[in-house]
């Protein structure tokens, strides 16, 4: 959706629930993906994403268009909601290990099935380690890394979402990746 169409839709959404529904349909999967990448928990991501859209609905009448995608507004709310979750319960374990091992029906394929499951488990463990390390980073580093590498946002979009200059975003990204690399090395089990 181009900015002009989005601007018109946001303006309509201030008084028209159907227009807000279109914004919801457009951005829910993107915001949910962002939150999921930050929390590594489907249930937590669902809860936070619902809260993001509830807050957006409540505040859309005060929203002022600044020629920046409405998604930047939603991502900013999402970032704040994630921080709120962490602040409310520092002991919250957002990383859940929910590997489901399917029954092996055919004895002929046992070795192949075991090899596939071991590969899946290793990928899952690597994914969990990455998210465990990302969660240990200060929030600002989490945001820039997830927006850049999981959400595939451009530097300009990240600047709009975080309200920071491009040089600052690049610096945060560089420092965040350096810290993440160190955490990954410290937590790796070889």
Do the beta carbons of residue 170 and residue 53 sit within 8 Å? Answer: no
pLDDT, tens only, 70-97: 888 999 999 899 888 877 665 444 333 3
* Confidence at residue 74, expressed as pLDDT on a 0 to 100 scale: 93
In contact, 74 and 27? CB cutoff 8 Å: yes
Confidence grade of residue 170 (pLDDT, cut at 50, 70, 90): very high
Helices (H), the chain: 3-13, 17-39, 42-59, 70-88, 110-136, 139-145, 155-162, 166-187
- All domains of the chain, ordered by start, with CATH? 1-96 (1.10.1740.10), 100-190 (1.10.10.10)
Mean pLDDT confidence for 119-131: 73
Give the predicted TM-score (pTM) of the model.
Answer: 0.62
What letter would DSSP give residue 137?
A: S
- Three-state DSSP at 1 gives coil
Which pLDDT belongs to residue 117? Answer: 58
- Count the neighbouring beta carbons within 10 Å of the beta carbon of residue 5: 9
Mean pLDDT score, 17-32: 91
Indicate if the pLDDT at residue 105 is higher than 50. no
Q: Which residues contact 74 (CB under 8 A, 6 or more apart)?
A: 27, 31, 52, 53, 56
């Amino acid at each position: 959706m181009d900015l002009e169409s989005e601007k018109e839709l946001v303006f309509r959404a201030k008084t028209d629930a159907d227009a807000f529904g279109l914004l919801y349909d457009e951005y829910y999967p993107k915001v949910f993906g962002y939150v999921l990448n930050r929390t590594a928990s489907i249930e937590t991501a669902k809860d936070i994403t619902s809260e993001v859209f509830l807050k957006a609905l409540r505040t859309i009448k005060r929203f002022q268009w600044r020629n920046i995608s409405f998604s930047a507004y939603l991502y900013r709310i999402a970032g704040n909601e994630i921080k709120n979750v962490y602040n409310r319960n520092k002991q919250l374990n957002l990383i859940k290990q929910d590997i489901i091992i399917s029954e092996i029906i055919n004895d002929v394929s046992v070795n192949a099935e075991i090899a596939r499951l071991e590969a899946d488990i290793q990928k899952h463990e690597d994914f969990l380690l990455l998210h465990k390390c990302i969660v240990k980073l200060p929030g600002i580093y989490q945001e820039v890394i997830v927006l850049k590498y999981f959400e595939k946002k451009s530097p300009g979009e990240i600047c709009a979402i975080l309200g920071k200059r491009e040089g600052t975003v690049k610096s945060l990204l560089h420092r965040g990746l350096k810290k993440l690399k160190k955490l990954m090395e410290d937590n790796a089990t070889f």
